[in-house]
């Protein structure tokens, strides 16, 4: 296998120490996030809004997505709350506030993973921005990039959010959302290692607390560890300070648990966002990442064949594809190697979110040469 490619360090082992102590601290702050849930109702007709209510035995989570054709409405996982969970489980001093120079001084131990977020925004700069909740979804377009309205594209551009890459370059960005474990993340990591593909894993607080060894494996294998929030709460439902706490709080406990830094990439829980939540996220110097392909793979109880998963993914690969998969599905683990080989055979290569944002922000010319970013597995 080749050595490290563009911009990759020779030694990728950046988080090798034990995460046991950190996991105990996180467990105090993060309620258990239950899985699955019974789908109470749902409709997906061409041109209609797709709305599903998921019942986890206590609270009901709701997702809404724009209309499209049949199951081509692509969504993330449902909102699943933990009834009775204590969101303020970390106790301690309130810490200090802003430094007076426009930067926050996040010291002390408080809620939000020990990060003090009260009054971190010095002015009401988000007043007037819409807080309307929007569920991210795209209409699939086969092997072409999906269709998204100009109005949505303008909002994404304004706040440096991304969902797809260069339409002229055959690059793919693999991303995975991690909220709970069913035993298939390690096989997926094994496949990525065998194929020399570097992916991004969006981790929430419950996963960090419950699966420290897997998280450490993700780091040590050279993948991007990214932010799926501390408690998996819908961003538009939160105050600005609470939203900041979900993002910065996970960064804090991640660093405590692993000794590594979480990347600045954020994926809102269930893909739910508002213009205001995008603005708050951007104001923290973090980048929102959606997706240009996903399918309903977040419920391990919903049965698919491996061939269905393979066809669903490969039939919709396109230039600049940001692929969202969930590791809870056995079928995803079973077909991932085949998908990677098929994509490469069709002329695609796999790239990283780091290079995607170089392209999007135009900070410098990203290499469009189609070579894989291969971690250095030594």
A 10 A CB-CB count for 297 gives 21
Q: Quick check: 229 pLDDT over 50?
A: yes
SS3 content of the chain, % helix, strand, coil (to 5): 30, 15, 50
Name the domain count of the chain: 1
Is residue 232 pLDDT above 60, yes or no? Answer: yes
Question: HSE of 228 in the Cβ direction (CA atoms, 13 Å)?
Answer: 28
List 177, 240, 334, 372, catalytic entry:
177
Is the pLDDT higher at 264 or at 62? Answer: 264
Q: Is residue 8 part of a domain?
A: no
Residue 375 and residue 222 in contact, taking contact as beta carbons nearer than 8 Å: yes
56 occurs within a structural domain? yes
Tell me the pLDDT tens digit for each residue of 169-227. 999 999 999 999 999 999 999 999 999 999 999 999 999 999 999 999 999 999 999 99
Q: How far is CA 264 from its chain centroid?
A: 11
- The answer to whether the beta carbons of residues 360 and 212 sit under 8 Å apart is no
Q: Is 157 exposed, middle or buried (0-12, 13-18, 19+ CB in 10 A)?
A: exposed
Residue 352 DSSP class: -
Task: Round to whole Å and give the CA distance between 238 and 263.
Answer: 22
Hey, is 330 helix, strand or coil?
Answer: helix
- 223 given a catalytic annotation: no
Catalytic residue flag (residue 177): yes
Nearest C-alpha neighbor of 355 from the set 176, 172, 161, 146: 172
The predicted-structure confidence for 332-367, as pLDDT tens digits, reads as follows 999 999 999 999 999 999 999 999 999 887 633 444
Contact of 14 with 260, CB cutoff 8 Å: yes
Q: Does the residue 344 lie in any domain?
A: yes
CA distances from 316 to 71, 146, 292, 293, 295 (A): 13, 9, 9, 7, 10
d(Cα 130, Cα 127) in Å, to the nearest integer? 8
Q: Is 93 inside any structural domain?
A: yes
User: Which residue among the candidates 204, 228, 326, 334 is catalytic per the annotation?
Assistant: 326
Domain for residue 374, yes or no? no
Which CATH number characterizes residue 202's domain? 3.20.20.370
Does residue 144 sit within a domain?
A: yes
Within-domain flag for 1: no
Parent domain of 51: 21-361
Q: What is the mean pLDDT of the chain?
A: 73
Task: Please report whether residue 173 resides in a domain.
Answer: yes
DSSP secondary structure string, 294-327?
A: --S-S-TTS---HHHHHHHHHTT--TTEEEEEET
In this prediction, residue 114 carries a pLDDT of 63
Can you give the pLDDT at residue 160? 87
Q: Which of 63-72, 174-183, 294-303 has the lowest mean pLDDT?
A: 63-72
State how far the Cα of 342 lies from the Cα of 354, in Å rounded to an integer. Answer: 24
Say yes or no to pLDDT of 22 above 60: no
Cα separation values, 210 from 25, 110, 220, Å: 11, 21, 18
**SS3 state of residue 117:** coil
């Amino acid at each position: 296998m080749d050595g490290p490619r563009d911009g990759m360090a020779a030694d990728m082992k950046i988080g090798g120490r034990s995460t046991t102590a950190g996991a105990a601290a996180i467990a105090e702050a993060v309620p258990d996030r239950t899985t699955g849930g019974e789908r109470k109702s749902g409709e997906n007709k061409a041109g209609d809004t797709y709305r599903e209510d998921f019942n986890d035995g206590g609270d009901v989570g709701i997702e809404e997505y724009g209309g499209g054709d049949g199951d081509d409405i692509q969504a993330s996982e449902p909102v699943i709350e933990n009834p009775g969970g204590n969101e303020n489980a970390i106790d301690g001093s309130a810490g200090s506030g802003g430094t007076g120079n426009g930067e926050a001084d996040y010291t002390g131990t408080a809620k939000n993973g020990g990060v003090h977020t009260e009054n971190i925004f010095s002015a009401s700069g988000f007043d007037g921005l819409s807080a309307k909740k929007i569920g991210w979804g795209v209409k699939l377009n086969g092997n072409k990039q999906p269709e998204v309205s100009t109005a949505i594209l303008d909002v994404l551009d304004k706040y440096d959010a991304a969902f797809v890459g260069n339409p002229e370059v055959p690059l793919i960005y693999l991303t995975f959302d991690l909220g709970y474990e069913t035993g298939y993340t390690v096989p997926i990591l094994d496949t990525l290692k065998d194929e020399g593909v570097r992916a991004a894993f969006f981790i929430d607080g419950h996963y960090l607390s419950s699966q420290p060894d897997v998280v450490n494996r993700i780091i040590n294998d050279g993948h991007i560890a990214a932010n799926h929030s501390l408690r998996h709460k819908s961003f538009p439902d939160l105050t600005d300070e609470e939203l900041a706490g979900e993002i910065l709080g996970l960064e804090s406990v991640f660093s405590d648990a692993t000794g590594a830094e979480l990347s600045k990439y954020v994926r809102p829980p269930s893909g739910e966002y508002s213009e205001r939540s995008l603005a708050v996220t951007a104001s923290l110097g973090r980048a929102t990442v959606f997706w240009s392909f996903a399918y309903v793979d977040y419920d391990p109880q919903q049965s698919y064949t491996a061939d269905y998963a393979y066809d669903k993914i490969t039939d919709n690969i396109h230039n600049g594809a940001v692929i969202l998969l969930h590791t809870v599905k056995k079928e995803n683990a079973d077909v991932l190697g085949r998908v990677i080989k098929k994509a490469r055979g069709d002329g695609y290569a796999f790239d990283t979110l780091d290079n995607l944002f170089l392209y999007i922000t135009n900070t410098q010319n990203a290499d469009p040469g189609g070579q894989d970013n291969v971690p250095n597995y030594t």
